[in-house]
């Protein structure tokens, strides 16, 4: 009796396994049938689309070479991996654009804010007026003048550097202050005798000494420059 129950149990287990196998076989068969129906439907639709496209192209006066279309399809199938890589690159590019767009948008907003601040502070108007400076330079100087400026730019910069030294600026400022304090409209006249007497004044003797020393040093500096050339 016990042996019969064990045999029956084994038969039941086998039947359950067979049912599972049959269900799997039926499911695969249904999948194959669905795929076959899908291929058939796609073929019909593709054939209809091809015929419609041929009709439209024929109506537009465009001739279609069937052999060329077939070769194109074969090349597409043959290079399916390449097409897959291209589509992958396009997807990556779209992802990159999607990630970069907020950054570019923020940069644009920051740029607009900076330009707005510059305009409110007057920088834009200042730059516009600066263009007139360059217009005047172009109108009043030739290409040769600019070339000569380039050849002598070192000397010019050295001169500017020396002039902008504190002691030189102070001397220039003193000269300007003295000139502004003079009444140039009412300069007194000096006769030779009066001028001779004035020359004996300590400040005049010191001024004459300064002029002579200055002219001597100018002459020496010119000789040095001539020797260097």
Contact status, residue 149 vs residue 156, Cβ threshold 8 Å: yes
pLDDT of residue 22: 80
pLDDT of residue 59: 63
pLDDT of residue 199: 81
Contact status, residue 29 vs residue 37, Cβ threshold 8 Å: no
Provide, rounded to the nearest whole percent, the portion of the chain with pLDDT above 90: 0
Which range of 62-71, 90-99, 152-161, 190-199 scores highest in mean pLDDT? It is 152-161
pLDDT of residue 223: 78
Provide the token pair at 57.
């192209």
Alpha carbons 37 and 34: distance in angstroms, whole number: 5
Mean pLDDT for the stretch of residues 25-38: 74
pLDDT digits (tens, 9 = 90+) for 152-181: 888 888 888 888 888 888 888 888 888 888
pLDDT digits (tens, 9 = 90+) for 188-217: 787 888 877 878 888 888 888 888 888 888
pLDDT score of 90 more than 70: yes
Mean pLDDT for the stretch of residues 107-134: 85
How far is the CA of 22 from the CAs of 27, 33, 65, 69, 92, in angstroms? 8, 16, 49, 44, 44
pLDDT of residue 161: 87
Q: Identify which has the larger pLDDT, 64 or 44.
A: 44
pLDDT score of 95 more than 60: yes
pLDDT of residue 229: 62
- The pLDDT mean for the chain works out to 78
Mean pLDDT for the stretch of residues 145-149: 84
């Amino acid at each position: 009796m016990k042996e019969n129950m064990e045999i029956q149990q084994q038969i039941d287990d086998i039947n359950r396994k067979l049912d599972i196998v049959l269900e799997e076989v039926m499911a695969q068969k249904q999948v194959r049938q669905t795929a076959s129906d899908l291929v058939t439907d796609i073929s019909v639709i593709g054939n209809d689309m091809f015929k419609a496209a041929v009709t439209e192209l024929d109506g537009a006066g465009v001739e279609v070479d069937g052999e060329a279309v077939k070769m194109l399809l074969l090349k597409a199938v043959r290079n399916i991996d390449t097409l897959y890589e291209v589509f992958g690159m396009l997807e990556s590019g779209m992802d990159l654009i999607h990630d970069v767009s907020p950054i570019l948008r923020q940069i644009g907003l920051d740029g607009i804010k900076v330009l707005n601040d510059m305009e409110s502070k007057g920088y834009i108007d200042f730059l516009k007026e600066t263009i007139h400076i360059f217009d005047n330079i172009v109108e009043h100087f030739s290409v040769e003048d600019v070339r000569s400026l380039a050849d002598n730019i070192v000397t010019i910069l050295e001169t500017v550097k020396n002039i902008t030294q504190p002691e030189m600026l102070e001397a220039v400022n003193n000269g300007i202050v003295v000139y502004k304090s003079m009444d140039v409209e009412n300069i007194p006249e000096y006769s030779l005798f009066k001028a001779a007497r004035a020359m004996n004044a300590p400040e005049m003797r010191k001024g004459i000494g300064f002029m002579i020393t200055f002219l001597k040093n100018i002459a020496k500096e010119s000789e040095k420059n001539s020797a260097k050339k």
